[in-house]
Chain A
């Protein structure tokens, strides 16, 4: 597998098992405005997790806090044996080398062409020769389907291409943890499908721990091993995909099934009156839709973190909605 060659010039040993991220009691506010509080979750090593939530609930802020770009008010972020919130600036820059982050719009450097953007981390952090750099950059660009666009400037390509170039750059140092901020926003359904497949294949090949922030219900339902939902300033639920997709918890149910009926309103949460009115009107919640099969790697081989469909439901005595896993 070509991904396994150590391209970082002897730095982190490839262990073959992503890195676990443990978040404990994390709380963040901007001045007087709280964003979320007491968020605790564990991104299991080598698994794909998705973080959902209504607009403006602080999902992007959460990602930025995870890489130490924003300091939390309290709480801990454990990566291996280090608490990221206690690190000094210099140590933080070290730990960040474990991360690859895809920002919402790709965040390419506007003054460099696509090739130089992707080569940038290699030129900064390795002593590779230009010929070796060229090899790795071409490989990554090939992976995201951008061969031929090397000499274009970020301003000259479409949003989807910028995103894919940003992904190539995020992956060039073989990160152990990859964070995606809305990889599917602004992409057409076909590109979204390709990108989701790419994420699953990446997880198979790199065994990286992956966290995806998204609004796309289809992505959330089919791609991850775990789902989390941020709502009303806290983490409403986090757990295995099947647990959330079969959950009767009103918020989780409403959001994962994109329904209007439930506690989430247009602006934020509905108030008690509205909810009471809904209940009085006797609106029946539509039945839970079937749980779809999880997206599998394109080469047909299993991922390390993969579990059999319905395994969680069986182990926890939950009967999945009719028609699930077909």
Chain B
């Protein structure tokens, strides 16, 4: 319970520090580059089978119901609304978050963070903020990548392998899909990036007891972030359906 309180204080501190100058542009760019380099490949690789599986499942289901014309829409919606953010969450927590946590944990046990504080630099402003902002940006990009790759994968399976018609696929997409779907996916991804980076930096900065402590912190950070992100995903989806009127209903 105390840890939760401390974590919330840490988040407050970090979010306030986001608006404080001087902004660490270099560190931000380095981190954005670093996080993308560890997460874009896994995200793309995970999203192809994801899109394909959804397309396959939906394809046969929809045929049984005699609603072929909606295959495209359904699979796109599934990918953009649900799979995109979930794959993003998995990759951001598993690849991005763990890398951030390991990096800060190593700095913590080498006493780099204490040294920084003694030299009059706040590590939250210097190290945490650029990582949090970079993680949010990369999450948004990732979600875009996942959506595009997933939709392309779905199109490929639906149209090329299952013999659907491209026209129907695109037309049904028009009928059910709407811009807020994409926007909501991106907002979700941004929140995931924020939460994953906050958890990872907090646990990394509080690692104790040598290299083993860093390992424990990384492990914890991945598990906790997964749970938080799935819970958040559910909550945000629920809110989305309340707030945005759905087409065709």
Contact = CB atoms under 8 A, between A and B. Distances in A.
Nearest to B116: A109
Contact of A93 (B110, B115, B122): B122
B118 A99 contact: yes
A180 to B, nearest CB: 13
B111 A104 contact: yes
A121 B119 contact: yes
A97 B120 contact: yes
A107 B120 contact: no
Contact of A69 (B106, B107, B118): B118
Contacts of A169: 119
Contact of B118 (A94, A101, A105, A125): A101
Interface string A102-113: 011101111000
Contacts of A108: 110, 112, 115
A78 interface: no
A107 B117 contact: no
B121 interface: yes
B117 A124 contact: no
B82 interface: no
Given A69-B114, A103-B114, A110 B119 contact: no
Contact of A110 (B110, B116, B118): B110
A107 B110 contact: yes
B117 A96 contact: yes
A110 B112 contact: yes
Contacts of A312: none
A326 B111 CA distance: 41
Given A110-B106, A110-B107, A124 B112 contact: no
A64 B112 contact: no
B14 to A, nearest CB: 13
Interface string B98-127: 000000001100111011111111100000
B120 A103 contact: no
B107 A124 contact: no
Contacts, number: 52
A99 B111 CA distance: 16
Interface string A174-186: 0000000000000
Interface in B147-164: none
A252 interface: no
B114 A64 contact: yes
Contacts of B122: 89, 93
Contact of B112 (A67, A96, A107): A107
Contacts of A101: 114-115, 118
Contact of A105 (B106, B110, B116, B121): B110
Interface residues of A, number: 23
Contacts of B121: 124
A67 B111 contact: no
Contacts of A120: 119
A99 B121 CA distance: 13
A212 B60 CA distance: 75
A105 B108 CA distance: 12
Given A104-B111, A107-B111, A110-B107, A124 B120 contact: yes
Contact of B115 (A89, A107, A125): A107
Contacts of A93: 117, 120, 122
Question: Looking at B114, B118, B120, B122, which has the most chain A CB atoms within 10 Å of its CB?
Answer: B118
Interface string A250-281: 00000000000000000000000000000000
Nearest to A121: B119
Contacts of B118: 67, 69, 96, 99, 101
A120 B114 CA distance: 15
A94 B119 CA distance: 10
Interface string B11-41: 0000000000000000000000000000000
A94 B122 CA distance: 12
Contacts of A124: 119-121
B13 to A, nearest CB: 9
Nearest to B27: A111
Given A110-B106, A110-B107, A96 B114 contact: no
Contact of B111 (A96, A105, A125): A105
Contacts of A89: 122
Interface of B: 106-107, 110-112, 114-122
11 contacts: A67-B118, A93-B117, A96-B120, A101-B114, A103-B111, A103-B115, A105-B111, A109-B112, A109-B116, A125-B119, A166-B115
Interface of A: 64, 67, 69, 89, 93-94, 96-97, 99, 101, 103-105, 107-110, 120-121, 124-125, 166, 169
Given A93-B120, A103-B114, A124-B120, 20 more contacts: A67-B118, A69-B117, A69-B118, A89-B122, A94-B120, A96-B118, A96-B119, A96-B120, A99-B118, A101-B114, A101-B118, A105-B110, A107-B112, A108-B110, A108-B115, A109-B112, A110-B106, A110-B107, A110-B110, A121-B119
Top 4 closest pairs, chain A to chain B, by CB: A107-B115, A107-B111, A103-B111, A101-B118
